[in-house]
Amino acid sequence: MPAYDIYVRCIDCGGEHPLLMKIFLADGPGRTQSIAEWFHGRSVPPQVLALRRHSALCLKTGKKFVLEEDDKVFLVPLGPDKAKPNTYDR
């Protein structure tokens, strides 16, 4: 089953931060997409719904924020080649 990294668009600094969580989706996107885009008009699986209870930490401001907006939470497919996107936060 394909694995996905979770990234969050930060409200505080506008950057994207990894949630350092992985989820598995049988029917997930083949490229990076927000939860809002991918599950539009479809039922959202429980492992994705569970993300809303998590909070992410902004490493720039030190603030925590809750993942309640589906268009700010992104599924990043983990390919078999483990190619990492060049989106390291500095």
Residues that bind Zn ion (CB under 5 A): 10, 12-13, 15, 58, 60
CA–CA gap between residue 34 and residue 39 (Å, rounded): 9
In angstroms, what CA-CA distances link 25 with 37, 48, 52, 61, 90? Answer: 15, 9, 16, 32, 29
Of 15 and 77, nearer to Zn ion (C-beta) is: 15
Rounded least distance, CB 46 to Zn ion, Å: 27
Rounded least distance, CB 24 to Zn ion, Å: 26
Of 12 and 27, nearer to Zn ion (C-beta) is: 12
